[in-house]
Amino acid sequence: MEPNDMDALLGLMKQHGVAEFTYSRSGDTSSLAVKFAGAAPVAVAVAPAAAPAASAARPAAVAVDNSRVIRAPIVGTFYRSPAPDKPAYVEVGDRVRKGQVVCIVEAMKLMNQIESDVDGVIAEILVDNATPVQFGQELFRLAPG
């Protein structure tokens, strides 16, 4: 693996909250285990692939989505507004700044304000109001800006 490929892989792993990554190969069998922060590992058996021809051209680079996500830092119930009769903290299309509150996750009767860790524009709200969320679950997708 080339150093630039390794940097790209590590960047993707960090972006998606990968805490551990294990790859092993024994004969014709390969296995892959990925553990996301705060979750149990997910193991996948990989079937052997045909070896590329020596003259095969290197594949073109895959475009990487440059959007960012805000993830649930705890297990709890997701709320878009501070109270049922109040407007939502953010809507699709709203510009947010680093440190701005975007929602609440209630855990054990405590209301935890969740802040954006980057500047951006809310491109997608990925969870319905008053829905249970898991640690590391994607809540919002932000476009750069």
49-106 pLDDT, tens digit each: 444 444 444 333 333 356 789 999 999 999 999 999 999 999 999 999 999 999 999 9
Neighbour-count burial for 47-84, b at 16+ CB within 10 Å, e otherwise: eeeeeeeeeeeeeeeeeeeeebbbbbbbebebbbeeee
- Token representation of residue 15: 């972006």
What integer pLDDT is reported at residue 130 of this predicted model? 95
Give the three-class secondary structure for 79: strand
Q: Which of the residue ranges 18-32, 40-54, 125-139 has the most confident prediction, judged by mean pLDDT?
A: 125-139
The residue extents of the domains of the chain are 3-46, 68-143
- Are the CB atoms for 95 and 127 separated by under 8 Å? no
The class that CATH gives domain 68-143 is mainly beta
